[in-house]
Amino acid sequence: MNNLLPPGVLPLDHGHLQKLATADLVRPDHLLGAHPVTQDGVEGVRFAVWAPNAQHVSVVGDFNGWNGFDNAMERLDFGYWGAFVPAARHGQRYKFRVTGADGRTVDKMDPYGSFFEVRPLTASIVWDQPFTWTDHTWMQERRAGYDRPISVYEVHVESWARREDGWFLNYRDLAHRLAEYVGYLGYTHVELMGVMEHPFDGSWGYQVTGYYAPTSRMGSPEDFKYLVNHLHEKGIGVYLDWVPGHFPTDEVGLAHYDGGPLFEYADPRKGFHNDWNTYIFDYGRNEVVMFLIGSALKWLQDFHIDGLRVDAVASMLYLDFSRTEWVPNIHGGRENLEAIAFLKRLNEVTHHMAPGSVTIAEESTAFSGVTTPTPHGLGFDYKWAMGWMNDTLRYFEEDPLWRKYHHHALTFFNVYRATENYVLAISHDEVVHLKKSMIMKMPGDWYAQRANYRAFLAMMWTTPGKKLLFMGQEFAQPTEWNHEGQLPWHLADVPDHRGILNLVRRLNELYVGRPDWHTGDVGSEGQVWVSGDDADNSVYAYIRRDPQGTAWSLVVANLTPVYRDLYPVGVPQAGEYRMLLSTDDGEYGGFGTQQPDLTTKEQGWNGQPYHLRLNLPPTSVLVLEPVGKTEEVPTEGQTKGQTPEPQAREEVADPELKETSPPVTPPTGDDR
């Protein structure tokens, strides 16, 4: 037999099937699925699928009138099935007709399908189209970037913007609008939700049926590649939500693929999520582990994705996650040892096979070593700071009158932030299910809500850790996110909302441009507390510093709606200071409170040799830096927690509102 296989397609022989069965083949999609090939001089498509318990499998599709008798598949070694169909071509629909161990015959989607019909239709599509990448420089230079700025704009691709008729944008349309908008705001990366093929819009893309395919709602795989390529050309990295923790129960998908548990654990105490009505992958099966690792590599290698945000890691790590009945591991413990081994191998393989890519764990527990390299840790690059998120949101949702009783909620992160490499994430999860949008979580009237939200954002951007903010929150969307429509873009140029957008843009500008704001994002040396104990006034002061140089800046937050004039704050360096940011500026929707002479006083304060006297606007954050050459700040700062001495109030000049930046035309839906 003379087979002509295109590049990237492996022979369907005993050796390669064995490599897959023994977990030695990290790209199983090069072996299984649908591949146009030439066999004995005849062009056609080679189909292959894993269904070890099936009684019979055939491939049906447009090429045989969906007749299950024309193209029966041959049972191969190790539970695989294969068939060559001369009549099959690129663009034709197909499914695998599987007669399972239970005697039922069901038409199944191809687990390795690279393209699918638009929901609610579910057929796989033979797809083999070239794409010319032009992002070679980006791919060669990308790296994990622990000392680089990473500011992420989280986007649900189907609902960020829509066409005028309400249908989804094509990936190519999205590419230009998203790149222009994200570039204007100064984000370094986007994180895309809802990309992998999924049957139900309301799952937001978290119940996946096509682990190797971008959703056809917005175009072809080449259209999606165009989106990634264009973002890279504009200097914007692309992360992707990836869901290896569970999959939906849809009969056409992975569920009971060959008539019984196959991709899922057989015991429902391990293999079913009652909360989500989904199945849990069997991480003890080599073929399942390779299926998932192959999916990760597909996105990182073939689609040039820069990183994967791994969803619901805690549900994978613990056998008793959200359960009353559970099965202990072989040592009697609650950890899923097979899932832990899978995650370690995932990170080892992806970092080796896709240089410069990152993995980010959405892990909500205190599991040790999430970002510690393997074999001692799980090997992720970053972990979402769920504790920081919960503590900070609870604090800001408090009435300012009571914040002094919760003062250390904002300093507690400093106790453990060096134990992992963290991403400070305000994601879609925080603005759905009656949790309210970010602006509406804030207490007080409309002005107070905006002042609180501005202070929150400034605290987030000046706290060590990479950044992530969900779409719509950059202009203070007042309503919860609704996946069925697009963002309320008309608000982006309303002055009160535009002020928040201007602030996010300025925060990104400072974060990306200043080494003291990002080089110390991980580890313990990027922040030095000056004053963390003034609970009575709800005032915080800390220094962000560059551990690799001498650059530093002072952050002072007044988190009550009380004006404090000439408030003393200790500083390590004498001389004149300048204001880098005030969330009270008129450009951001504040009053524009003026400052006194920003020259240090000789008296020490807060354990520092000098101090400044600052006018602290109500519910605001100020950021200052020394004028001229900066001196190195020691890492071991002292926190005296002194109560400022009473000072005479000086008259403050009328605020001068800064001219706002030119408006951005918000993305609107047009026809393709």
Phi, psi of 536 (to 5 degrees): -60, -35
What are the beta bridge partners of residue 541? 531, 556
Strand segments, DSSP code E, in 112-181 are 124-125, 151-156
The single residue of 362, 420, 474, 585 carrying the catalytic annotation is 362
Report yes or no: 448 and 583 within 8 Å, Cβ to Cβ: no
Report yes or no: 83 and 72 within 8 Å, Cβ to Cβ: yes
The single residue of 191, 282, 311, 338 carrying the catalytic annotation is 311
Q: Give CA–CA dist 366/401, Å, rounded.
A: 32
Sorted by sequence, the CB contacts under 8 Å of residue 562 that are 6+ apart come out as 537, 618
Q: Which residue type is seen at 570?
A: G
Asked about 585 being catalytic, the answer comes back as: no
Q: Give CA–CA dist 310/316, Å, rounded.
A: 11
Residue 160's Cβ-count burial label (10 Å; 0-12, 13-18, 19+) is buried
Q: What separation in angstroms does the CA of 295 have from each of 11, 299, 303, 556, 623?
A: 20, 7, 11, 46, 44
Residue 175, SS3 per DSSP:
helix
Q: Which of 499, 545, 509, 513 is nearest to 526 (CA)?
A: 545
Q: Give CA–CA dist 27/24, Å, rounded.
A: 9
Q: Give CA–CA dist 204/158, Å, rounded.
A: 9
Q: What separation in angstroms does the CA of 433 have from each of 261, 481, 597?
A: 32, 9, 48
Crossing angle between the packed helical segments 446-462 and 386-397, to the nearest 10 degrees: 150
Q: Give CA–CA dist 87/59, Å, rounded.
A: 12
3-class SS letters over 437-504? CHHHHCCCCHHHHHHHHHHHHHHHHHCCCEEEEECCHHHCCCCCCCCCCCCCHHHHHCHHHHHHHHHH
Tokens at residue 340, please? Answer: 């832990």
Sorted by sequence, the CB contacts under 8 Å of residue 50 that are 6+ apart come out as 32, 79, 80, 81, 111, 257, 262, 287
Sheet with 278-279: list strands edge to edge. Answer: 247-248, 278-279, 272-273
In terms of DSSP H, where are the helices of 266-385?
268-271, 286-297, 313-317, 337-353
Phi, psi of 324 (to 5 degrees): -100, -30
Tokens at residue 527, please? Answer: 């922040």
Q: For residue 497, how many C-alpha atoms fall within 13 Å in the half-sphere facing its CB?
A: 20
Asked about 362 being catalytic, the answer comes back as: yes
Q: Give CA–CA dist 88/458, Å, rounded.
A: 57
DSSP sequence for 651-671: P-PPP-PPPPPPPP-------
Q: Which of 652, 625, 646 is nearest to 567 (CA)?
A: 646
| C-alpha 487 chain-centroid distance | 19
Q: Which of 659, 655, 658, 503 is nearest to 594 (CA)?
A: 655
The catalytic residue positions are 311, 362
